[in-house]
């Protein structure tokens, strides 16, 4: 029998998936899942699904290339570093990888039947995402990916589970370390001079009471400085409270055209007064978005304020705000300026709480904006335009 290109494509995709899933990054693991789904779909579209063949059953092919190639695909699938099942409409769940069988076996999840029921329920609903599994090692988070297939007229669903616990825990620890470092730095910057000046003020007061010096001017200066540093520390705490107490969004349909008109009326005069220009562009009419109107407007105003700060030294500052549908029907809102752009190497740090690339910045604007956008089911990212400057894209 001829060995056509579809099976070779499946083999290449599965081998690439094994390599990608072996990487420690969650981004590589997701890429591995996508490659695995594509490779398995191509293979399953060629012939009916058969149970995985153990390694010890492998024997040299005697009648041509195809048995050896198919066996190789089955071995790769068996040892794919993801728990993989095929679910048929009748309710039968078939394990396709060794990791899937280990997860259901003693030492894996505490209740295998509960996991089977959960996977079947998710497969019926077509609902992937993150799930929590009760394993012998404790609660663990896993990523669930689904791929619907139609084989010989029968609807089936390919189910893939990837462990996320270690990766998420590492990212959470990194976030905590970064936050603690920032909090420690900011608090100590205020407490150190407050403590020092308080001691100096006490010394001046003692000398004044002893009649040794006139401590009035120096004492007033010390106390005034203490008051300023205390006020700065209070502002820092209030900023932190703003980040930690964002109210949940109240979602409703938002007319994107009306939103852009309101923003243009609010910000254009200030840019024109600086000798600059603003351009608000709506690429498609009738766009509507399910979001919190106040929080969405606040997020865009935060980005526009950042653009205003970034272009303060520009002779002709420019602001572009546009809304359009991208491929896949996603709405993209972009805020771009012609400033110097984000310094190289700081693209990820700019979203950390209290980190600011601008002198005197509070460092909460982008953090709060990302939190607002994420709460509404969107995503905020920075891109570096070819024309220069900085651009921030909200995707929904």
pLDDT digits (tens, 9 = 90+) for 48-61: 444 443 434 344 44
Q: Are strands 277-282 and 318-325 parallel, antiparallel or unpaired?
A: parallel
- Helical segments of the chain, H only: 5-21, 26-46, 65-78, 98-104, 112-125, 165-209, 216-244, 256-273, 293-310, 365-375
Chain centroid to CA 240: how far?
21
Position 339 pLDDT exceeds 80:
yes
* pLDDT range class, residue 356, cuts 50, 70, 90: low
What is the reported pTM? 0.53
* Dihedral over alpha carbons 91, 97, 101, 104 (to 10 degrees): -60
Please state, in angstroms and rounded to a whole number, the distance separating the CA atoms of residues 212 and 96.
89
User: What is the predicted pLDDT for the residue at 389?
Assistant: 92
To the question of domain 5-163 being in CATH 3.30.450, the answer is: yes
Position 321 pLDDT exceeds 90:
yes
Which segment of 82-96, 256-270, 327-341 scores lowest on mean pLDDT?
82-96
To the question of domain 252-395 being in CATH 1.10.10.410, the answer is: no
Q: How many CB atoms lie within 10 A of CB 188?
A: 10
* pLDDT range class, residue 373, cuts 50, 70, 90: very high
- Whole-number mean pLDDT of the chain? 77
281 burial via Cβ count (<10 Å: 0-12, 13-18, 19+): exposed
Please state, in angstroms and rounded to a whole number, the distance separating the CA atoms of residues 3 and 205.
94
Position 134 pLDDT exceeds 50:
yes
pLDDT (average), residues 63-72: 68
Position 226 pLDDT exceeds 50:
yes
Q: How many CB atoms lie within 10 A of CB 210?
A: 8
Percent of the chain with pLDDT over 70: 75
How many residues are listed for the chain in this entry? 396
Q: Are strands 154-163 and 83-88 parallel, antiparallel or unpaired?
A: antiparallel
* pLDDT range class, residue 160, cuts 50, 70, 90: very high
User: What is the predicted pLDDT for the residue at 124?
Assistant: 87
CA distances for 88 relative to 94, 149, 177, angstroms = 8, 10, 46
Percentages of the chain per state (helix, strand, coil), in multiples of 5: 50, 20, 30
Please state, in angstroms and rounded to a whole number, the distance separating the CA atoms of residues 50 and 43.
11
User: What is the predicted pLDDT for the residue at 175?
Assistant: 67
Are 46 and 7 in contact, with CB atoms under 8 Å apart? Answer: yes
Radius of gyration of the chain (CA): 29
Within 13 Å of residue 235, how many CA atoms lie on the same side as its CB?
12
Q: How many CB atoms lie within 10 A of CB 71?
A: 17
* pLDDT range class, residue 34, cuts 50, 70, 90: very low
* pLDDT range class, residue 74, cuts 50, 70, 90: confident
* pLDDT range class, residue 75, cuts 50, 70, 90: confident
Chain centroid to CA 112: how far?
31
CA distances for 227 relative to 221, 231, 234, angstroms = 10, 6, 10
Q: How many CB atoms lie within 10 A of CB 345?
A: 7
pLDDT (average), residues 344-352: 77
* pLDDT range class, residue 13, cuts 50, 70, 90: very low
User: What is the predicted pLDDT for the residue at 287?
Assistant: 92
Most confident of 82-96, 99-113, 213-227: 99-113
pLDDT (average), residues 374-379: 92
* pLDDT range class, residue 216, cuts 50, 70, 90: confident
User: What is the predicted pLDDT for the residue at 239?
Assistant: 67
User: What is the predicted pLDDT for the residue at 215?
Assistant: 66
User: What is the predicted pLDDT for the residue at 24?
Assistant: 43
Please state, in angstroms and rounded to a whole number, the distance separating the CA atoms of residues 51 and 78.
10
pLDDT (average), residues 210-224: 73
């Amino acid at each position: 029998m001829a060995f056509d290109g579809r099976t070779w494509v499946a083999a290449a995709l599965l081998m690439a998936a094994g390599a990608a899933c072996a990487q420690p990054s969650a981004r590589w693991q997701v890429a591995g899942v996508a490659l695995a789904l594509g490779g398995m779909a191509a293979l399953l579209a060629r012939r009916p699904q058969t149970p995985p063949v153990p390694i010890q059953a492998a024997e040299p092919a005697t009648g041509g290339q195809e048995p050896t190639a198919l066996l190789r695909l089955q071995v790769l699938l068996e040892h794919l570093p993801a728990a993989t099942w095929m679910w048929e409409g009748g309710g039968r769940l078939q394990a396709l990888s060794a990791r899937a069988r280990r997860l259901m076996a003693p030492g894996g999840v505490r209740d295998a039947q509960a996991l089977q029921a959960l996977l079947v329920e998710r497969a019926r609903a077509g609902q992937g995402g993150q799930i929590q599994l009760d394993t012998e090692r404790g609660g663990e988070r896993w990523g669930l990916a689904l791929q619907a297939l139609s084989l010989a007229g029968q609807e089936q669903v390919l189910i893939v589970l990837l462990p996320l616990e270690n990766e998420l825990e590492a990212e959470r620890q990194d976030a905590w370390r970064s936050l603690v470092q920032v909090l420690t730095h900011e608090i100590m910057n205020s407490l150190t001079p407050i403590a020092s000046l308080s001691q100096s003020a006490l010394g001046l007061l003692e000398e004044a009471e002893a009649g040794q010096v006139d401590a009035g001017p120096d004492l007033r200066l010390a106390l005034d400085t203490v008051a300023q540093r205390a006020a700065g520390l209070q502002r820092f705490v209030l900023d932190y409270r703003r980040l930690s107490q964002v109210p949940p969004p109240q979602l409703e349909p938002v007319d994107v055209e009306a939103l852009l008109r309101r923003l243009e009326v609010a910000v254009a005069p200030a840019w024109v007064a600086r000798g600059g220009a603003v351009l608000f562009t709506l690429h498609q009419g009738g766009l509507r978005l399910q979001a919190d109107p106040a929080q969405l407007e606040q997020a865009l105003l935060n980005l526009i304020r950042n653009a205003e700060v970034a272009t303060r030294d520009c002779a002709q500052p420019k602001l572009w705000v546009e809304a359009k549908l991208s491929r896949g029907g996603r709405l993209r809102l972009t805020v771009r300026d012609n400033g110097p752009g984000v310094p190289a190497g700081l693209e990820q740090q700019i979203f950390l709480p209290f980190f600011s690339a601008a002198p005197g910045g509070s460092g909460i604007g982008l953090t709060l904006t990302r939190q607002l956008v994420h709460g509404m089911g969107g995503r905020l990212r920075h891109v570096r335009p070819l024309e220069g400057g900085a651009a921030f894209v909200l995707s929904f």
